[in-house]
């Protein structure tokens, strides 16, 4: 199997595994394998996690995608969060009652919202996050935010935006 064919197979399998429309990825690959390779090389940025707790990592990813107004990407990350072991109750709280998140996750959410809205993140909140999760955890939070913004941006740039459905935990 040639490399282009194997990339198509991997994209298709990913889409099927997560019930996610990967058309934009396939079109990018077909139009320019080298552009797709650059995009694929950046994909791990959003997934990198060693120091940040699992729930905090996924809260950062999901809040970023909600802020980017990408329901499909948000839904994908909800599926990934459940698959990784994040408690559905935490995710339900994030979706339905985000103002009632535990303090640790509320700080993550607020920090993400400051960053994606181009606001100045609160220094005291940032200090609390650093204290809880260390410099490595804080750095991973930054990579999760930046990495997750890549996907909705690519979709918009490739003209693959559509009316998004409200994300759900009904899967």
pLDDT digits (tens, 9 = 90+) for 47-57: 999 999 999 99
- Span 54-112, pLDDT tens digits: 999 999 999 999 999 888 999 999 999 999 999 999 999 999 999 999 999 999 999 99
- How far is it, in rounded angstroms, from Cα 11 to Cα 17? 10
pLDDT at residue 156 greater than cutoff 70: yes
Please give the pLDDT value at position 142.
98
pLDDT, tens digit, 9 for 90 and up, residues 65-77: 999 988 899 999 9
Question: What is the location of CATH 1.20.1290 in the chain?
Answer: 47-171
Does 47-171 carry CATH code 1.20.1290? yes
Query: What's the whole-model pTM score?
Result: 0.93
């Amino acid at each position: 199997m040639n490399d282009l064919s194997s990339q198509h197979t991997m994209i298709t399998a990913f889409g099927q595994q997560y019930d996610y429309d990967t058309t934009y990825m396939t079109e990018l690959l077909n139009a320019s394998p080298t552009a797709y390779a650059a995009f694929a090389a950046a994909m791990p940025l959003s997934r990198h996690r060693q120091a940040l707790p699992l729930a905090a990592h996924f809260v950062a990813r999901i809040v970023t995608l909600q802020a980017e107004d990408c329901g499909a990407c948000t839904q994908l990350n909800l599926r990934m969060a459940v698959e990784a072991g994040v408690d559905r109750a935490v995710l339900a709280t994030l979706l339905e009652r985000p103002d009632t998140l535990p303090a640790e996750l509320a700080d993550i959410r607020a920090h993400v919202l400051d960053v994606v809205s181009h606001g100045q993140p609160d220094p005291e909140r940032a200090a609390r996050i650093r204290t809880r999760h260390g410099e490595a955890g804080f750095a991973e939070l930054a990579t999760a935010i930046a990495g997750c913004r890549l996907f909705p941006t690519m979709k918009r740039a490739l003209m693959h935006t559509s009316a998004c459905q409200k994300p759900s935990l009904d899967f």
